[in-house]
């Protein structure tokens, strides 16, 4: 028996001003779009902003439904919009923010398992790591790729 340790890198920032100007703009877009989320059931408003290889920024937010499982997270709304409209453009960075009662959450928001899997698919599709920015008042976390969110992931390589 062998035991392997898998390490992930998590860069932690105290304030948005510590990010590069481009990443600050992206995160501000994610924050802005939380305000347009449709989340009447949870009151948890999530926003995602994606920087594409063509320089374009696309955004999305969570869309809830009275039949709960029919709703969709902000990350996948943004990601699927990006992949649907710009299938040739690599997804470079995704910034994710969340607010309760209009106030940015304290703890950095973490994507759910299904969104991690969707991000993993996009990373494999474009063969480029996706930079991930997770917003919160206590800290802003920056990950260099989906592997830091979803180690040992399933992908087409297994098929």
Query: Is 29 a residue of the active site?
Result: no
Joined tokens for residue 87: 């299938």
Distances (CA, A) of 30 to 25, 69, 77, 110, 147: 9, 23, 12, 14, 22
Cβ proximity to ligand THU, 54 vs 106, nearer residue: 106
Count the residues in the chain: 159
Closer to ligand THU by CB, 43 or 156: give it: 43
Of 16-24, 42-50, 87-95, 100-108, the window that binds ligand THU (rule: CB under 6 A) is 42-50
- Establish if 120 lies at the interface with ligand THU (CB under 6 A): no
- In the DSSP assignment, the letter for residue 138 is S
Q: Out of 19, 58, 74, 95, which residue is the one contacting ligand THU (CB under 6 A)?
A: 74
Residues 6+ apart with CB under 8 A from 48: 30, 33, 59, 60, 61, 74, 75, 77, 78, 79, 94, 95, 96, 97
Handedness of CA 49, 133, 91, 55 (dihedral sign): positive
Part in contact with ligand THU (CB under 6 A); list of ranges 13-21, 28-36, 51-59, 105-113: 105-113
Query: Is position 75 an interface residue for ligand THU (rule: CB under 6 A)?
Result: yes
> Torsion angle, CA of 82/83/88/94, rounded to 10 degrees?
50
Q: Does 64 bind ligand THU (CB under 6 A)?
A: yes
Q: Which lies closer to ligand THU via its Cβ, residue 73 or residue 79?
A: 73
| Choice among 64, 75, 123, 144 that is catalytic | 75
Parallel, antiparallel, or unpaired for β 131-134 and 91-100? parallel
Residue 39 lies near ligand THU (rule: CB under 6 A): yes
Q: Is 112 in the site for ligand THU (CB under 6 A)?
A: yes
**Which residues are near ligand THU by CB under 6 A?**
39, 42, 44, 46, 62, 64, 71, 73-75, 109, 111-112, 115
List residues with catalytic annotation. 75
């Amino acid at each position: 028996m062998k035991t392997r340790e898998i390490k992930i890198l998590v860069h932690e920032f105290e304030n948005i001003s510590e990010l590069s100007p481009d990443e600050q703009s992206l995160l501000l877009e994610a924050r802005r779009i939380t305000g347009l989320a449709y989340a009447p059931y949870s009151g948890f408003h999530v926003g995602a902003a994606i920087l594409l290889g063509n320089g374009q920024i696309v955004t999305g937010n969570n869309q809830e439904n009275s039949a709960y499982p029919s709703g969709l997270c902000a990350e996948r709304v943004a990601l699927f919009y990006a992949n649907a409209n710009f299938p040739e453009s690599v997804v470079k960075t995704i910034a994710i923010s969340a607010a309760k009662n209009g106030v940015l959450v304290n703890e950095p928001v973490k994507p759910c398992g299904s969104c991690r899997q969707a991000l993993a698919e996009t990373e494999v599709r474009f063969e480029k790591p996706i930079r991930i920015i997770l917003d919160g008042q206590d800290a802003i976390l920056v990950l260099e790729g989906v592997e830091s969110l979803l180690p040992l992931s399933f992908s087409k390589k297994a098929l």
